[in-house]
Structure formats: C-alpha cells, structure tokens
Structure 1
Amino acid sequence: MSGDGIEAVGQIAEGGLAARAVENEHGEGAAQAATKGHFDESECLNCGAAITGPYCSQCGQKAHLHRTLAAFGHDLMHGVLHLDGKLWRTLPLLMFKPGEITRRYINGERAKFVSPMAMFLFSVFLMFAVFQLAGITTPTNIEQSADLQPDLTQAQANAEQQIDEARASLSELSPDDPERAEAERRLQDLETAAKGIGQLTDVLGQGDNSEVSFNGTGIKSFDDGIIKKWRENPSLMLYKMQNNSYKFSWLLIPISVPFVWVLFFWKRRFKVYDHAIFVTYSLAFMSLLYLALSVLGIVGVPLQIVILSGIFVPILHIYKQLKYGYELSRRGALWRTISLANMILFGVVFIFLWLLLLLGAL
C-alpha cells in the first residue's frame, strides 16, 4: 500500500473516532455511552439481565460489545476461520500431544480448545482452498481410449520402421566394428519401446471391449449404469469425485469410528463418543499434515522426504494419540496402531472411495 493509501486509512480511522466522540457528547445516555469504541452497560443488551462479570450470566453474551472496525474484523476472522485464542492452544497440542488434547476434551475441558468438528472443518476448508490456489487438483482432461488408438497405431508403425532400419544398418557392420555395440543397443531400445506401445494398445483395446463387465455390487443394472457413465465421460466423473471428496469428507468420521471401536469393544470405560473425538481430531491433523507436505513439495523439498513424512508421521501421530488418549501401555498402543493403520488403508479408504464413486454416478 502506498504512503497516500496508509494516510487515507489513518484519516478515516481518525474521523470515525472523532465522530464517535461527538456523538457520545450529544447524548446517547449513560447506559450505552461509548467509551473508546465500546458499550459500557450495566444490563445485558441482549436479554436485559444485570451484568455481574465479563459475560451475561443468563445468555452468555459479552458484557462489553465493541463498535470498531477492528472488532468487526475479529468477528469476521472468528466466524470464517475461528482464529482466536482457542486455535493457538489447540494446534500445538494437536500436533505434538494429540493424546493429551483428546483425553482432556473428553474429560470436559472444552472451553479451552477448538472443538474436534470445528477443527476438522477448518482443516478441510483450508486444505482444499490451498490445493485450489496451488493448482493441485485431480486431472480431469482424460481422453477416451478410442481417441488414442490412431496415435498409438501410428506410433507402432513408426517404431517398426525404425527397427527395420536399425537392423539393416546393423547387418552392414562387421563383427569387430567399434560402432556395432552402439547399433545393437539402439536396436534393443527400439524393440523395447515397440513392445511397450503394443502392450498399451492391447490394454486400451480391452477397455473398449463391450464384453468386459463389472460386478462390484452384484446388481447388474446398477453396476452397468456406473460403468457406462465412466466410459462416456471419465473427465466429468473425476471432477464430480473431486468435488464430492470435499463436500462429503465428513463421511470419514462415521466410517472410521466402528474400526476404532473394534480395538476397544471389550473395554466398557471407552464409549463411542470417545472414539468419535479421537477420529475427528486425528482427521483434522491428517488434513493439515498433507496440506503442509504439499506446500513443502511445491517449494522444492525433496520428494523422498515428503513421501517418507507422509508415511511415518501419521503412524507416529496415531500411536501417540492412542497411547495417551486412551492411557494405554506401549505394547497396547503399538498393536492397535498397526491394526488401525491396516484398517485405514484397506477399510476406511476403500469404503470412502467407493462411496465417492457411487455419489459421482448419481
């Protein structure tokens, strides 16, 4: 912002404060006399109850309501991103002591922290917003295999022609010619490339075979309807899956809770509510983690570090959250971590992707 712009903002703020002071002097009443931009009341402006502290004892509204631009900005940020003191108390514990925040929230310390669901929605919103800004999206410009067939056929013909030329050149070289080894290597590379093109052509040809069927659910009409839509417009279906993954990300919570319950079903101390808190905080962390890893990959952090972090950090986080959240021994937390990791990979992810597939076909 230029110096003139900053000065203009300062003049507006100064004019607003001056106007507010003049308006107060001309008589708004002692009950709502504005002092430095906020009300100074003895009764709650919402329900009329007597004010005895910083909050109304009847409805919970703050005793002092600010009428300033800064207050409006705070309300905006609080409403959109929940960026208040709770977030900065919640994030460090969620990252480094997930078991502690899970146990404390379950035990009733809720006013101090952002609720699990609010944290989850915030993390998912932030993750998808950053992905969109960074252009990290599912590719939706998939071409139909039928459109690729002419190109593959031409590529196959070119490869065979180059192979014939390479063989002819090789036959003209004597066995002790120093260029023979290079010619043999080139011929081998061309044959390998031609073989790969042929395999790709076969795969795409099978994909267009009308006899190929899919019996995912056993309901022929249902499965044929889904497959037909994917074959007719795979780009649209991927786009719908991408959007649905954001809109229906909350489905991960009810999908995951039963898997966690299985690990504790004989322990009556832990309820389904406890598992829901565990799952929701864990999903919030995972969203923020993969957001951070994506950003690190964009700025140039080596891919190996990003991949290894994406594999081992979630496992370590789940272990710590299980151990301290459920107050388990190391052995108990370890076998549950291994079990839960496999359940997530082969159960939760599969079910969620399958639901997205079905939703995308509707």
Structure 2
Amino acid sequence: MSHGKIRIEKNCLNCGHEVEERFCPHCGQENVETRQPFYYLFTHFFEDFTHYDGQFWGTLKNLLIKPGKLTSTYLEGKRQKFVPPVKLYIFVSFITFFTFALFPMLNINLADRKDAGNSDKASFFEKMKTAETKKILDSIKAEKNLSKQDSATVKKLNTLLSDSTKINDFEETLEMDKKIDDDVNYGGYKTRKSYDSAVTKNPSALDFIRIPLAHKFFELKEKGVTKAEIIKNLAEKSFHNMPKALFIYLPLFAFFLWIFHNKKKWWYFDHGVFTLHYFSFLLLNILFIFLIAKLTSVIDIGFINVLLYLLITALLLYSMMYFFIAHHRVYHTHGVISFIIGVILFTINFFAFMILVTGLALVSFLMIH
C-alpha cells in the first residue's frame, strides 16, 4: 500500500470525479499529493510489488515452491491475487541482470598485462622461486639416507614444480597479452584483400555470415587488439545482449508448447503465460546459484563450502525437474505422456536455444570495437 499523503481536496486529478476515501471509485487513481520526496521515485516501484496485500511475496512463494500454481490460477481467472506474468518477468529480469552488473561473472584485468616491465619482473621472481625450490630438492636428494619426512618433502616439492610448469605452459599457450600474429589467417587468407578476392571468385550461400565475420577479424588484426581484449569485449557484449535474447526466445518457447498440445483446449495465450512464469523461475534460480557461487569464493570454511556446493547442485537439479512438474500440473496430462512430451520439448528447446546463443556470440563478436 502506498504511503503518499492524501490530498485535502476530494476531486480526482485524473477524471474529476469525487473521491470519498483514498481511491477514486471511477478510475481507481489514488488521491495523494502530486509532489513527493525524492526517494518516493525509487520506493514507489517496489511498493507496487511488496505493499499490496503481500501480492509480490505470495507470487514468489508460489513461483518457487509450487511449480505450475501461478499459471493454473491465472488461467482460471483469479488474476488479482498474484503479480501479472509480464510484470513479474520484467521485474525479475531487472533484478537479475542488475545484480550481474554489480558483480561481474568475468573480470579480466588488462592494465596489468599491458605493462611489459612489470610482467618481466614478475616472471623474474617466479623463476627465482623455482630455482630455489630446485636447489632445495637437489640438496635433499643428495643425502644417502632419506627419512620419511624428507621423502614426503621431496614428493611435495616435485608436485609443486610440476603444477608450476603446467600453469606456465598454459599461460604461454594462451598468450593473452599478445596481439593477433601476422601469420594467423582466416580461412587460409592473411589479409582482407586476398579474402575478398577469393570470395568474389567463389561465392557461397553462407557469405552473408562469413564475410562480416572475416572483415571483423581482419579489422581487429589491423588494430592490434590483444586476445584478452577480444575475450573481455566478447563477454561484455554477450552479457548486454542476453536479456534481449531471452525476450526474443519467449514466443518461440510458447510456440513449441502450442505445437504439442490440443489447439482447441489450449490457446497460444495460455502457453505464453506458462512460458513467462517458467522463465521468471529460471532467472530467479540462476540468480540464486550466481549469488551462492559468489559466496563460495568469499567463504573459506571447508564444511560451509561443501554445503553451498550441495545447495548449488540441488538448485540445478530442481531447475530440470521444475519444468516437468509444472507441465504436468498445468496441462493435466497423464504422467508418462507428460514426461515424454516434456523430454521432447526439452530437447527441441535446448538445441534451439544453443542456436540462439551461437547467433548471439556472433553478433557480439561483430560489435567489438
């Protein structure tokens, strides 16, 4: 319920009708003062969800622990008790991606890699540490009679040296701080001119995809962009495009539901409501998993981390089970039939979404500057 101050005047500012109490009986607008404190702009949005008869919290409870309940209730015509599907999805999307923006999933620090001098110093000290470790190891091995403690020390040092070598080899293989080499080619061509010449001679049906990708590759190569910068930009662009991709996929998901159900009994609108609720649940579940994963990187207590990882596993399994439970409860199909349809829909949507994600990655790559 809004906490705005009620106006002394009893005329509705929206339609002009007389207002006896707080809300206009004609249009429903609240008869409160038009000028409010600055914080009202931020609190009013959340009040719509949290202060109206517990509508938001009741919606969350049913969405998370009662798969299919919101959809069934909404389709029965009981639509004042819970937050409307579209409003719920928009709010959950906003909270989820706002949280992701505050706590980035991928953090690549390019500044540290650009300073070649510092990099050389770091590698110098690492080499010194490795050399000292080898000296200690050789001195212990030189002794004729090794105790159990010495043998254990030798084993640990060998493991450390092996791991250090693997890490260094991995970093050298990636060469994140290096630019795209001149001898690196795209489809066998090292320059844009040679590539365009070959495409002109041998056109293909896939040129509408291949040519923009090739031109972007040669553009980045000419600019001297490093691998780390490409990965960082690709991750950022993909992240910003993800909400759009999910929104685009909503009607496609509902369309697949429409194909596999009785067209007379279930309208496309019904499948759209189911999809909005299911996607809202998925976004919330992804948000919970993300926050718990962040906790594991902060908390360094063994048994607590084990519990957190078990919780993440449980949420992942619940995400898979949720669709089958919700589908069975909403569409009232036989258990076996519901499961078979669910598996088919799951498979189709998995491959369709992978295609969308691949397209998203390509678009993100083309948007790199």
Bucket of the pairwise TM-score, normalised by the shorter protein: 0.5 to 0.7
Between the aligned residues of both structures, percent identity stands at 18
- SS of the residue aligned with 1:98? coil
Q: Does 1:104 align with 2:73?
A: yes
Runs of 5+ in structure 2 lacking a partner?
Answer: 189-205
Correspondence for 1:21: none
Q: Does 1:202 align with 2:199?
A: no
Contact 2:62-2:69 at 8 Å conserved across structures: yes
Contact 2:96-2:283 at 8 Å conserved across structures: yes
Contact 1:119-1:284 at 8 Å conserved across structures: yes
Structure 1 pair 306–165 and aligned structure 2 pair: CA distance change class (3 A): same
Contact 2:140-2:154 at 8 Å conserved across structures: yes
Q: Does 1:244 align with 2:241?
A: yes
Contact 2:216-2:366 at 8 Å conserved across structures: yes
Count residues with an aligned counterpart: 322
Correspondence for 2:309: 304
Alignment match of 2:214 (pick from 203, 215, 224): 224
Structure 1 pair 117–344 and aligned structure 2 pair: CA distance change class (3 A): same
Structure 1 pair 191–170 and aligned structure 2 pair: CA distance change class (3 A): farther
CA deviations 1:115-148 (Å, max 9, x no partner) are 2111111011122334445x34432435799989
Alignment match of 2:330 (pick from 325, 341, 345): 325
Counterparts of residues 67-146 of structure 1 (less than 5 Å): 67=33, 77=43, 79=45, 82-83=48-49, 84-85=52-53, 86-133=55-102, 135-141=103-109
Following TM superposition, by how much is the alpha carbon of 1:322 offset from its aligned partner in structure 2, in angstroms?
A: 0.5
Q: Does 1:169 align with 2:139?
A: yes
TM-score (norm 2): 0.66
- SS of the residue aligned with 2:316? helix
Correspondence for 1:61: 27
Higher Cα Rg: structure 1 or 2?
1
Tell me the amino acid that sits aligned with residue 287 of structure 2: L
CA deviations 1:10-53 (Å, max 9, x no partner) are xxx9xx99xxxxxxxxxxxxxxxxxx746546xx7644679999
Alignment match of 1:275 (pick from 271, 274, 280): 271
Structure 1 pair 185–248 and aligned structure 2 pair: CA distance change class (3 A): closer
Structure 1 pair 64–118 and aligned structure 2 pair: CA distance change class (3 A): closer
State the superposition RMSD in angstroms: 4.7
CA deviations 1:95-129 (Å, max 9, x no partner) are 23331321332344334432211111101112233
Further displaced range: 323-332 or 192-201: 192-201
Following TM superposition, by how much is the alpha carbon of 1:331 offset from its aligned partner in structure 2, in angstroms?
A: 2.0
Contact 1:39-1:64 at 8 Å conserved across structures: no
Tell me the amino acid that sits aligned with residue 106 of structure 2: T
- 1-structure distance, mates of 2:71, 2:35: 36
Following TM superposition, by how much is the alpha carbon of 1:310 offset from its aligned partner in structure 2, in angstroms?
A: 2.7
Runs of 5+ in structure 1 lacking a partner?
Answer: 1-12, 18-35
Structure 1 pair 136–325 and aligned structure 2 pair: CA distance change class (3 A): same
Contact 1:124-1:287 at 8 Å conserved across structures: yes
Following TM superposition, by how much is the alpha carbon of 1:196 offset from its aligned partner in structure 2, in angstroms?
A: 4.2
Following TM superposition, by how much is the alpha carbon of 1:186 offset from its aligned partner in structure 2, in angstroms?
A: 2.3
- 2-structure distance, mates of 1:142, 1:256: 39
Structure 1 pair 352–233 and aligned structure 2 pair: CA distance change class (3 A): closer
Contact 1:94-1:281 at 8 Å conserved across structures: yes
Contact 1:241-1:357 at 8 Å conserved across structures: no
Structure 1 pair 177–276 and aligned structure 2 pair: CA distance change class (3 A): same
- 2-structure distance, mates of 1:163, 1:190: 8
- SS of the residue aligned with 2:68? helix
Structure 1 pair 185–87 and aligned structure 2 pair: CA distance change class (3 A): closer
- 2-structure distance, mates of 1:164, 1:284: 56
Contact 1:99-1:324 at 8 Å conserved across structures: yes
Correspondence for 1:33: none
Structure 1 pair 38–91 and aligned structure 2 pair: CA distance change class (3 A): farther
Correspondence for 1:32: none
- 2-structure distance, mates of 1:88, 1:167: 62
